[in-house]
Structure 1
Amino acid sequence: MAILGLDVGSKTIGVAVSDELGFTAQGLTTIKWDENNLPSADQELKAIINERSITKAVIGYPKNMNGSVGPRGEASERYAKYFEKTHGISAVLLDERLTTMAAERILLEADVSRKKRKKVIDKMAAALILQTYLDQH
């Protein structure tokens, strides 16, 4: 009965999962995909959903700083609808305006090299999105 956290970008999807009790989020992986081909991440996500008994997904919702929804936010809305229909799991959109910046700051403070940051930033942002949701519920 775990929850999935997704940081959906145009080329990658950061993936995080909660523990069984829904207290903590852990970054799991980054999936390469093509947002112009929505099914391109389905196989990997389906395997995670089945393996972890996922019951809900929290998808990052990048709003503009003034709260309006731009093209990236609209892309997340489209993907959330697609995800629900494809995987049969409810998806919640969560405002993620500052999560990627927060993830970058954490990695910088930990003195992680630029090359390594690039590899983990998306799954870390997904973990921050999911942890925010878990803390609110």
Structure 2
Amino acid sequence: MTGSLPRGVRLGVDVGDVRVGLARSDLDGMIATPVQTVPRGEAVARVASEVAASGARVVMVGLPRSLSGHEGPAAGKARAFAAELVAMLSGTGDHIEVRLLDERLTTVSAHRALHDSGRRGRKHRQVVDQVAAVMILQQALDVERSTGARAGELVRTEPGDPHQPPAPPASGTHQEDSA
């Protein structure tokens, strides 16, 4: 991997109203693979459990934006999920980054990929969130390899927290830090 990013597992999360997809990378950050689909009400605790089990230091949460880049209600839900995850992880004493990654059209792409692979209709629901999580995480891994920097927008624990780097501009897809 290029740049000064440390080796380690990363997680990818696709937040839906009913279900949340979870994916993880290998230690070298080369490829994302599906983990599971979790009911929304259990998702924050399940992601925190996967962080602990895998030793992940970074969690990429998909941030759904419109094609114009604006954020709607779904983006607000993803931001709320990310903030809840940061709050839960902050109690561990470990510094785990939670980052929001622009994920325009990943769910649409996931449905298309499932359809093209022969899965039809109702069978999509159980795995589409996992496929979308894989797509989100793979996008982040590709950005990391090409830029040497973490992808996405760091979710801050509190405004002015001295342990957090400054938030990136809202329009950027990556932040130049090496945490």
Contact 2:44 2:84 (8 Å CA) reproduced: no
1:65-84 residue pairs with structure 2 within 5 A?
65-84=67-86
Say if 2:114 is the partner of 1:112. Answer: no
Matched, 1:44 2:43: no
Q: Which residue of 2 aligns with 1:37?
A: none
In structure 2, runs of 5+ residues without a counterpart are 1-7, 91-95, 145-179
- Per the normalisation by structure 1, the TM-score is 0.90
RMSD across aligned positions (CA): 1.3
How far does the alpha carbon of each residue in 1:36-73 deviate from its partner, in whole angstroms, 9 at most, with x for none? xxxx4343223211211111100000011211111111
Larger radius of gyration: 2
1:30 is matched by which residue type in structure 2? T
Q: For residue 135 of structure 2, what is the aligned residue in structure 1?
A: 128
SS in 2 for 1:121: helix
Percent identity over the alignment is 31
Q: Report the CA distance between 1:30 and its aligned residue.
A: 0.5
2:12 is the alignment partner of 1:5? yes
1:70 alignment partner AA: G
Q: CA deviation at 1:119?
A: 1.0
Distance across 2 between alignment mates of 1:90 and 1:82: 13
Q: Aligned partners of 1:101, 1:10: CA distance in 2, in Å?
A: 15
- Tell me which protein shows more helix as a share of its residues: 1
* Larger relative strand fraction: 1
1:31 partner amino acid: V
Q: Give the distance between the partners of 1:118 and 1:33, measured in 2 at CA.
A: 13
